[in-house]
């Protein structure tokens, strides 16, 4: 069953004792309001994707601009990978990553070479994560399958929990506990003038960070691209 906004917010309310006398979850909190919980969830999406870009990745076709310089869609945060050519007029071949230095040193005029719908290489610079370059220069109609990181569209917290509570949590359900810790960190930070709440806020922040970094390590270890250690148990992963 898919995790919803209400599932995460209500779990936070239970932990924070925002409940009715009969123990049921309060429709609207006293110290922490529903729009605050919703706002912190939207904030979590941004924070999580900044730290782990593949937490919300998009795989789609991108129609290229003529020339070498390309940009991912406006909603994108950073390019993750370029997979293959997809234009009907292309040979559908895979695209390999290279470096700008390699192209600059071997083919100084690569930006003005003849255009093609068959892209062979792409260049990416971490300092400009929404931009990449292709070689040969893209001809009109050239298109690529790309994977990029994005921030999910925020929930409309102005609709209240009744309006967005049934919305599906926008990351993989495995990130639900991470989102809960982030919300609790932000909620207790609101009352950080009390020492106990400050400690709880710091505790939940540490749990949030540890879960994100731990998931990143686990994803790397179980990736199909991870080294096979079965043949050499003494070999370790980098």
Tell me what pLDDT residue 160 has: 83
The pLDDT confidence band at residue 234, using thresholds 50, 70 and 90, is: very low
The H-assigned helical ranges of the chain are: 5-15, 34-51, 100-106, 160-164, 176-189, 195-222
What's phi and psi for 188, nearest 5 deg? -70, -25
Answering whether pTM is above 0.85, one says no
Tell me what pLDDT residue 218 has: 60
Handedness of CA 4, 9, 13, 16 (dihedral sign): positive
CA 56 to CA 42: how far, in whole Å? Answer: 13
Tell me what pLDDT residue 158 has: 87
Place of tokens 């070479």: 113
Tell me what pLDDT residue 228 has: 56
Rounded average pLDDT over 221-226? 52
Map residue 226 onto helix, strand or coil: coil
Model pLDDT for residues 144-203, shown as the tens digit of each residue:
999 999 999 999 988 888 888 899 999 999 999 999 999 999 999 987 677 888 899 999
CA 104 to CA 26: how far, in whole Å? Answer: 63
Tell me what pLDDT residue 233 has: 46
CA 67 to CA 53: how far, in whole Å? Answer: 27
Q: Which of 36-40, 70-74, 118-122 has the lowest mean pLDDT?
A: 36-40
Beta bridge partners of 116: 138
Model pLDDT for residues 79-132, shown as the tens digit of each residue:
999 999 999 999 999 999 999 999 999 999 999 999 999 999 999 999 999 999
The pLDDT confidence band at residue 22, using thresholds 50, 70 and 90, is: confident
CA 36 to CA 160: how far, in whole Å? Answer: 10
Beta bridge partners of 80: none
Tell me what pLDDT residue 93 has: 96
Rounded average pLDDT over 56-61? 96
Map residue 61 onto helix, strand or coil: strand
Tell me what pLDDT residue 238 has: 36
Handedness of CA 224, 228, 233, 235 (dihedral sign): negative
What's phi and psi for 81, nearest 5 deg? -165, 155
Map residue 70 onto helix, strand or coil: strand
The pLDDT confidence band at residue 227, using thresholds 50, 70 and 90, is: low
Place of tokens 């870009």: 53
């Amino acid at each position: 069953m898919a995790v919803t906004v209400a599932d995460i917010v209500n779990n936070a309310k239970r932990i924070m004792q925002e409940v009715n006398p009969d123990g049921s979850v309060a429709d609207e909190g006293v110290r922490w309001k529903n729009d605050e919980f919703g706002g912190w969830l939207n904030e979590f999406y941004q924070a999580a994707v900044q730290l782990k870009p593949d937490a919300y990745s998009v795989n789609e076709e991108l129609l290229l601009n003529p020339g070498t310089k390309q940009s991912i869609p406006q909603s994108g945060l950073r390019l993750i990978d370029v997979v293959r050519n997809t234009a009907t007029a292309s040979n559908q071949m895979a695209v390999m990553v290279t470096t700008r230095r390699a192209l600059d040193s071997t083919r100084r005029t690569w930006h003005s070479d003849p255009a093609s719908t068959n892209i062979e290489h792409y260049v990416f610079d971490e300092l400009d994560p929404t931009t990449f370059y292709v070689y040969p220069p893209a001809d009109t109609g050239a298109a690529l399958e790309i994977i990029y990181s994005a921030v999910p569209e925020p929930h409309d917290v102005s609709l209240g929990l009744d309006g967005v509570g049934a919305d599906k949590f926008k990351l993989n359900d495995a990130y639900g506990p991470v989102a809960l810790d982030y919300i609790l960190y932000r909620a207790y930070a609101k009352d950080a003038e009390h020492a106990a709440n400050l400690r709880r806020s710091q505790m939940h922040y540490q749990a949030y960070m540890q879960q994100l970094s731990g998931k990143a390590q686990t994803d790397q270890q179980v990736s199909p691209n991870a080294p096979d250690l079965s043949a050499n148990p003494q070999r370790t992963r980098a």
